[in-house]
Amino acid sequence: MARQSISFTEPNDEWLKAQVSSKEYSSKSELVNDLIRQARQQQQHIDLVRLKLEKAEKSGFTTDNKDQILADSKYRLNG
């Protein structure tokens, strides 16, 4: 595992210490790694949404009204 030296602002350091003190995480390193994993997952989700939006934009226009679009979206989301 790669080792890094990073600096935190005082409020961020206090928050990290509080999370470790509450036994939520065993160390600051574990917490920072978890935050990075979450950020990476969020970025993947954003990228997927962006791709879907680009595909939708390229597919053209619709004559459906907003209620029809919403109903179709909910159906596709919930199966």
Q: How far is the C-alpha of 12 from the C-alpha of 15, rounded, in Å?
A: 5
List the structure tokens of 76.
């596709």
* pTM for the predicted model, two decimal places: 0.67
User: For 6-56, what is each residue's pLDDT tens digit?
Assistant: 999 999 999 999 999 999 999 999 999 999 999 999 999 999 999 999 998
Burial 1-20 (b: 16+ CB within 10 A, else e): eeeeeeeeeeeeeeebeebb
Distance of CA 66 to the CA centre of its chain: 27
Q: How many CA atoms lie within 13 A of 50 on its CB side?
A: 6
List the structure tokens of 8.
């935190």
